[in-house]
Amino acid sequence: MKIVFRNILAAVAAGILLTGQSMAAESDECGKIRPGEIWKDVKGDTINAHGGCVIFAEGKYYWYGEHRAAVRSLPQEGVTVYSSPDLTTWTYEGLALRATEEKGHDIERGCIIERPKVIYNEKTGKYVMWFHLELKGQGYGPARCAAAVSDTPAGPFRFVKSGRVNAGRMPKNLSKKKASRRAGENMEWWTPEWRAEIERGMFAVRDLEGGQMSRDMTLFVDDDGKGYHIYSSEDNLTLHIAELTDDYLGHTGKYVRIFPGGHNEAPAIMKRDGRYWMITSGCTGWEPNEARLMTADRIMGEWKQLPNPCRGENADKTFLGQSNYIMKLPGEDRFIAMFDKWDPKSLMNSRYLWLPVYFDAEGVPYVSWKNEWSPRK
């Protein structure tokens, strides 16, 4: 009987060992990022976090994104948040910011919430979220940004305010003397004369009193702790970089225009060895286009445009995706470029394209396609 019992124990131990090896193998397999495939959370549900960002906070990664319905006509629920110890195993934490049923509220259910980004404020100990907001029933006319705040990375975030940016303030790099005088005119678009007036800030002057438009956007915290809001403005024709207040919940009035008339959106920014790099997209609706790379040695300085940073199959179409966010891995000189592969017929089923950023011999970043890769060293 003892022999039989020992044999049973041995068999059970062997089974446990094999199961452990199998789980380890599965874990290693699951430790890979596969761009463009369907990504599921630990419960097996498809991850629904589009156009967002990933931060590292309190020992975990937190992924924020737009909640999207399977059918475009259905309203968004708000901003979702997932947590992970390793960037590949994700747990749904719920809605970091929930749209409200309150009639007339800025984030009344039925509004449009896009490009949510979260940063941590060392001075206040708060997590601050900004996002592109369009009011319910008003299409893309309002072109607002909105702020929310939380004590914890998973939320819930408390809505603070929404509006346009820096009302009554001129950009640092556009003087009133040189600014366009034709802001009130109905000029024909895309003519050489119209382009010249756009470069001279015709739409920036037009929106001066009510504040600058803010659509596709991102956030960035510099080494000195200053926060910046980078957004597509002037009817998506010109990018703005605006300084945030010390608590990151407002704007100081300091901002610059970059690439006037360049038609850039979907900005994603990083800094390495004292130089700023930004990947953007052209404006072609939900359709992909060729990515753009730009660089500067000061965030509010002169920016220079460089060739497409993407390499490999479909590089001329940003791997069929659109830039969204660049994450620096904590404590490392490594970055992940994050893109969205939009499905306009079912935005919930849009895919995620996360790829490692490489640097050439001159330190210029580029992104190469990989079917799978590991975020581990």
Q: What is the pLDDT of residue 72?
A: 75
DSSP-assigned letter for residue 107 = T
Residue 340, both tokens:
């969205």
Distance CA 186, CA 197 (A): 12
Nearest CA to 159 out of 113, 115, 220 is that of: 113
Which has the closest alpha carbon to 242: 224, 264, 258? 258
Assess whether pLDDT exceeds 50 at residue 366.
Answer: yes
pTM above 0.95, yes or no: no
- Tens of pLDDT along 112-167? 999 999 999 999 999 999 999 999 999 999 999 999 999 999 999 999 999 999 99
- Please answer whether residues 262 and 237 qualify as being in contact, where contact means their C-beta atoms are separated by less than 8 angstroms: yes
- What's the length of the chain? 377
What torsion do the CA atoms of 77, 78, 83, 86 make, to the nearest 10 degrees?
A: 100
**Structural domains in the chain, sorted by start:** 37-163 (2.115.10.20), 166-263 (no CATH), 266-377 (2.115.10.20)
Q: What is the pLDDT of residue 21?
A: 36
Average pLDDT, the chain: 93
Sign of CA dihedral 368, 369, 375, 376: negative
270, 326 contact by CB (below 8 A): yes
Torsion of CA 342, 345, 346, 351, to 10 degrees: -20
Asked if 312 contacts 300 with a C-beta cutoff of 8 angstroms, the reply is no
pLDDT of residue 23: 34
Structure tokens belonging to residue 173: 């790099």
Edge-first strand order for the sheet with 310-311 is 310-311, 365-368, 351-359, 335-341, 322-328
Residue 278 CB contacts under 8 Å (≥ 6 apart), including other chains:
230, 267, 268, 269, 270, 293, 294, 295, 303
pLDDT digits (tens, 9 = 90+) for 326-353: 999 999 999 999 999 999 999 999 999 9
